[in-house]
Amino acid sequence: MDLSPQDIRWIIQGMIILILSIAVHEFGHAIVAHKLGDRLPESQGRVTLNPIAHADPIGTLLFPMLGLLFTGGKGFGFGWGKPVQVNPVAFSRRFTMRTGHMMVAIAGPLMNILFGIVIALILASLVTFEVLPKHHELARALHYAIGLNFILFFFNLIPAPPLDGGAVLEGLLPERMVPGFQRYAVYGPFVLMAVIFIPQLSQLFVKPAVWLHGAVWSVVSAIFGLS
């Protein structure tokens, strides 16, 4: 595998961005569970933005590194963090356990949306105040970070357990439909693999992410008066 210094630089940047994005995602799960009254994530050191607390050796490091190496840093490195363990029994009685579990599940993807928007605002600020040229390599890396977080949002909301979208859909379904959904859940990993490895199906989360990236950047650019 012949990689140029620029390829290596992009692989390192991609890994840093992915590790931070995964940490933000898992923190979202942990903080919402904590706010609902569950002390398990805190006891396991997960109510933190420290990437080390959320990193999985295979899902956060090995798998995405291989993906970025095979694409020369030009693709999106997919990965996952160490799952946040929760105890739904400890959730606040203001919500049912099913609703609480749904809130914890959706918090991860929502944190990726928030992180992407924050990065867009930071990038626009840097460009506006001429700290960073619009076409600088760092600006490109920040755009990559925005796009990756939006991809993580849509990807994780695919209603296929064990993705967050599975728990979100289960929480939204009428009680009578839950047993049927749980029978479908056993096939979730196969649905997930199909979505990842079949290019036409991967557009289910890539296309919306690209659209959202463009829409958010248009709004932010208009706010900051960027052409």
Residues serving a catalytic function are 26
190 exposure class (CB count in 10 Å sphere: 0-12, 13-18, 19+) = exposed
Instruction: Give which of 142, 92, 99 is closest to 117, Cα–Cα.
Output: 142
CA pair distance 99, 122, nearest whole angstrom: 34
Non-local CB neighbours of 92 within 8 Å, separated by 6+ positions: 36, 37, 100
Alpha helices by DSSP H, 36-177: 40-43, 51-54, 63-70, 97-128, 137-156, 164-172
